[in-house]
Structure 1
Amino acid sequence: MSTTSNFRGIDHVGMTVPDVNAAAAFFEKALDAKTLYDVLPEGSKPYEGAETEQQLGIPKGSKIVHMRLVQIGKGPTIELFQFEAAPQQKVAGLNDYGLQHIAVYVDDIDAAAKQFETAGGTLLSPPHPLANVEDMPRNKGVYAKTPWGTLVELLTYPDGLKDKSLHRWTPEK
């Protein structure tokens, strides 16, 4: 059995937002994100048509009008999509199938939660202890919503896991 893999890790996550500029500004203010570049600059010819619809699995007549990559810390990037002429469903909740939240590791959970709220986000509760194997004295998390409703989890686990034989990837400081 080979110990190497062709798969390195998550490169980015995609998130459709009502307005790329507003979403990027929110992430910059709430999570200290940095804009890397626009994949599809605002005002460019939209990505649309039968080939785009087939390649991306989007509804007929939909068009992507703006795409931007932002990065939080040293983690993977978030690819923001802005559509026109596309039907929308409500934002996925934690109980819905599929990808429904991103989690951001923070050093100071209380400061991060306050910054998120100041930027216009909403905490679902105060920061609280983590559960089970993650339940250690200083480990905490909180779910929050962006202004457009996407779930973001803020978490910190400076005390590690109860079972020291387990390993969890943590972003570098």
Structure 2
Amino acid sequence: MKRIITLITFLALSFGGMVQAAGINAAGVDHAGINVPDLKQAETFFHDTFGCVPVTHIGPFDLAALASPDGKKQTGSVSISMIRCGTGSNIELFEYKNAQGSTVMPGMADIGASHIAFYTDDVKAGVAYLKSQGLTILGEPITMASGDTAGETWVHFRSPWGSDMELVGYPNGKAYEKTSHVRLWNPKHPAE
């Protein structure tokens, strides 16, 4: 019996899938959500910079009528847009008006801080484009020379409203791929 389980596990991992543990059988990441100060500005930025296309728009919704996860009474309204970006996950944009939320952007090391990474085969050309648009690049592109991610180049930048974002590329793959049976999802090969 142990050999059969080992064989099934090996076959599942060999074909790029992972054996799902108990719990939710998630097919993948549907979307990442981010709060933005201006929905139209964010849609334009994502479209003009990365080719993302706005697909759905809902709201504004009165926050007082919506349940709050923390049980506090909410004020203001929220409008929501879902955008499609290439072969990757969708991005859900939230614009809150007259709400009581913080307007301070979380720092990179703050709990709850997050970022979205956009794949490109040419990170340096991407940096040149972002600079031409007046965006702040946080340091210089770093190419990993060793370890599991050897072959990957990345750099962080700030969106027009100050969110931390990233450009990442690994056109020739990453070092871990030579030894691991499980592959990270790759936007260039989304079905693998």
State the TM-score, normalized to the length of structure 1: 0.82
What is the aligned partner in structure 2 of residue 43 from structure 1?
A: none
Distance across 1 between alignment mates of 2:94 and 2:143: 33
Is residue 179 of structure 2 the alignment partner of residue 165 of structure 1?
A: yes
Q: Which runs of 5+ in 2 are unaligned?
A: 10-18
Match for residue 39 of structure 2 among 20, 40, 43: 20
Measured against aligned partners, the alpha-carbon deviations of 1:55-81 in whole angstroms (never above 9, x if no partner) come to 6877621321x2111122111111111
Compared CA separation, residues 58 and 127, structure 1 to 2 (3 A): farther
Match for residue 105 of structure 1 among 119, 129, 143: 119
Equivalent AA in structure 1 for residue 186 of structure 2 = T
How far 1:157 sits from its partner (Å)? 1.1
Distance across 2 between alignment mates of 1:102 and 1:33: 13
| Bigger mean CA offset, 91-100 vs 112-121 | 112-121
Equivalent AA in structure 2 for residue 80 of structure 1 = L
Identity %: 28
Contact kept, 8 Å, 2:64 with 2:76, in 1: the verdict is no
Measured against aligned partners, the alpha-carbon deviations of 1:39-65 in whole angstroms (never above 9, x if no partner) come to 33xxxxx3124441426877621321x
What is the aligned partner in structure 2 of residue 80 from structure 1?
A: 93
Distance across 2 between alignment mates of 1:58 and 1:77: 29
Q: Secondary structure at the match of 1:155?
A: strand
RMSD of aligned residue pairs (Cα, Å): 2.5
Distance across 1 between alignment mates of 2:107 and 2:150: 24
State the TM-score, normalized to the length of structure 2: 0.75
How far 1:31 sits from its partner (Å)? 1.6
Compared CA separation, residues 74 and 39, structure 1 to 2 (3 A): farther
Distance across 2 between alignment mates of 1:149 and 1:170: 27
